[in-house]
Amino acid sequence: MKADSSFQTFLREELRGIRGHAPLVRIIDGTQGHRVRIEGRKVIMLASNNYLGLTDNPKIVEATKKAIDRYGVGLGCGRSIVSMRIQVELERRIAEFKRVEASLVFPTGYDTNLGAVWSLMNPETTLFLDEYSHASVFDGAKLGGAKVKPYPHGDMARLESLLKEPDKGKRRFVATPSIFPLEGDIAKLPEIAKLAGRHDASVYVDDAHAVGILGSHGRGSADHFGLHGKIAIQVGTLSKALASVGGYVAGSEELREYLFNRARPFAISTGHIAPPSAAAALAAIELLEDDDSLLKRLWKNASYFRDGLKELGFDTGNSETPIIPVILKDAQKTAAFSKKLFERGVLVRGFGPPTVPEGTSRLRTIVSATHSRAELDDALDAFAKTGKSLGLT
Ligand SMILES: Cc1ncc(COP(=O)(O)O)c(C=O)c1O
């Protein structure tokens, strides 16, 4: 009893700190889309990574129903025992889509980075990485015991100087997200690949926000920059633009085999991608390959919305993608802005320290291909009114 009550005290004390930073989690009824139903009314959704609006796409929904009829809902064992046809078919299609030899699918994007970095990067490895890399990459490096050398966001001169420093590491990797989740800018991948090549390092790219968004038909950053064959490890998620759940590593056949056996979140788990999720990802890739009109609409919507915000006098930082921050600097004002926007029918998430550096608090807006012009105009109107009422524009 004593231990139990001190445990409860610990939780209560920790939660006091956590609750100070935690934003209100809204519950949506019905499907996720460009508009969502919350507390009985429809609000414009500008806070989701559902870039292409595929989460309720009829073709994808139908494909998942068929997959359940054919494969059921789960595997029930580790994939070192058996794999389902639909799981290996998804891996084959991802590899084809990404124009690499092979891929391996993990339960989440987080597990993908964690498992890949943890298993590939040990104390004999030096990992150079953009400071704004995802927590899963840092976590994997910590578990693997790699020597980590972060460089300031996008700073190629610093990356070069770090690569030139004497280093006893037997293997070297340079890792970066291709699209930065809170900035919406794109990594300088050609320069990174050149520097890595010159200094005997392999490139690890996290395409979580780029698959389905960058490159022809959404193939990702390697395709966007014409770097096929130059990126050793391409990681991505199935849970954002591809409207499913899961993550993947795409690269060589040997890389797949190594991770299949050594990446612990994959190799020692029975939690593998379920048939409906595999079917949804397969259908999303099919849809992207057949038709890039959604991709074009996404980019048009992004430019329209970003230009509109800039015209209203907001600071959108270095955004060049459908992720468009509105940098308000002050954490309190950011929280108040997000609350007022919701009252005006627009859902936008605010981010403050410690998620972003002090003095850079921001609203993060994310447009989708399926937002109509009228919805974007309504959202801009809500931004204009809220900005004025808070004395920010
Ligand atoms: C850059 C980046 N990498 C990896 C992930 C993890 O992907 P998932 O959400 O599928 O776990 C995320 C997402 O949250 C991300 O933003």
Give the model's pLDDT for residue 22: 74
Report in angstroms the alpha-carbon separations of 288 from 111, 241, 259, 263, 293. 25, 10, 27, 29, 9
Give the model's pLDDT for residue 17: 82
Cite the beta strand spans of 246-300 per DSSP E.
247-251
pLDDT at 325 over 70: yes
Query: Is the Cβ atom of 109 under 6 angstroms away from ligand 1?
Result: yes
Percentage of the chain beyond pLDDT 90 is 95
Q: Which of 255, 290, 325 is the last residue of a domain?
A: 290
Give the model's pLDDT for residue 24: 81
Q: Do 216 and 339 fall into the same domain?
A: no
Residue 304 covered by a domain: yes
Sign of the C-alpha dihedral computed for residues 42, 45, 47 and 50 taken in this order = positive
Q: Which of 270, 290, 310 is the last residue of a domain?
A: 290
Q: Which of 274, 290, 306 is the last residue of a domain?
A: 290
Residue 331 covered by a domain: yes
pLDDT at 2 over 60: no
Please identify, by atom number, the ligand 1 atom nearest to the C-alpha of residue 246: 10
Give the model's pLDDT for residue 155: 98
- Report the nearest-CA residue for atom 9 of ligand 1: 109
Q: Do 320 and 213 fall into the same domain?
A: no
Q: What is the pLDDT of residues 50-82, one digit of tens each?
A: 999 999 999 999 999 999 999 999 999 999 999
Query: What residues have CB less than 8 Å from 296, skipping those under 6 apart?
Result: none
Q: Do 281 and 155 fall into the same domain?
A: yes
Contact present, 186 and 179 (Cβ < 8 Å): yes
Query: Is the Cβ atom of 223 under 6 angstroms away from ligand 1?
Result: no
Give the model's pLDDT for residue 39: 93
Instruction: Report the separation in Å between the CA atom of 202 and the middle of ligand 1, taken as the mean of its atom positions.
Output: 21
Q: What is the pLDDT of residues 6-53, one digit of tens each?
A: 999 999 999 988 887 777 889 999 999 999 999 999 999 999 999 999
Instruction: Return the structure tokens found at 377.
Output: 């105009």
Mean pLDDT on 296-303: 98
Residue 47 covered by a domain: no
Report the SS3 class of residue 111. helix
Q: What is the pLDDT of residues 120-133, one digit of tens each?
A: 999 999 999 999 99
Three-state SS string over 321-388 comes to CCEEEEEEECHHHHHHHHHHHHHCCEECEEECCCCCCCCCEEEEEECCCCCCHHHHHHHHHHHHHHHH
**Which of 136, 209, 356 has the most ligand 1 atoms within 8 A of CB, as the residue to mutate?**
136
Residue 322: domain span: 2-30+292-389
Give the model's pLDDT for residue 279: 98
Give the model's pLDDT for residue 137: 98
Residue 137 covered by a domain: yes
Q: Do 135 and 271 fall into the same domain?
A: yes
Residue 208 covered by a domain: yes
Q: Do 185 and 159 fall into the same domain?
A: yes
Mean pLDDT on 94-99: 98
Q: Do 285 and 156 fall into the same domain?
A: yes
Report the domain count for the chain.
Answer: 2
Mean pLDDT on 87-112: 98
pLDDT at 3 over 70: no
Alpha carbons 341 and 383: distance in angstroms, whole number: 7
Give the CATH number of the domain where residue 78 resides. Answer: 3.40.640.10
Alpha carbons 251 and 83: distance in angstroms, whole number: 20
Query: What residues have CB less than 8 Å from 69, skipping those under 6 apart?
Result: none
Instruction: Report the separation in Å between the CA atom of 112 and the middle of ligand 1, taken as the mean of its atom positions.
Output: 9
Measure the CA angle with vertex 52, ends 46 and 55; round to 5°: 85
**Largest Cα–Cα separation, the chain:** 63
Give the CATH number of the domain where residue 325 resides. Answer: 3.90.1150.10
pTM: 0.96
Percentage of the chain beyond pLDDT 70 is 99
Mean pLDDT of the chain: 96
pLDDT at 1 over 60: no
Residue 43 covered by a domain: no
Q: Which band of pLDDT confidence, cut at 50, 70 and 90, is reported for residue 246?
A: very high
Residue 54 covered by a domain: no
Q: What is the pLDDT of residues 137-153, one digit of tens each?
A: 999 999 999 999 999 99
Query: Is the Cβ atom of 133 under 6 angstroms away from ligand 1?
Result: no
Q: What is the pLDDT of residues 185-234, one digit of tens each?
A: 999 999 999 999 999 999 999 999 999 999 999 999 999 999 999 999 99
Mean pLDDT on 157-169: 94
Query: Is the Cβ atom of 134 under 6 angstroms away from ligand 1?
Result: yes
Q: Do 120 and 175 fall into the same domain?
A: yes
Q: Do 87 and 135 fall into the same domain?
A: yes
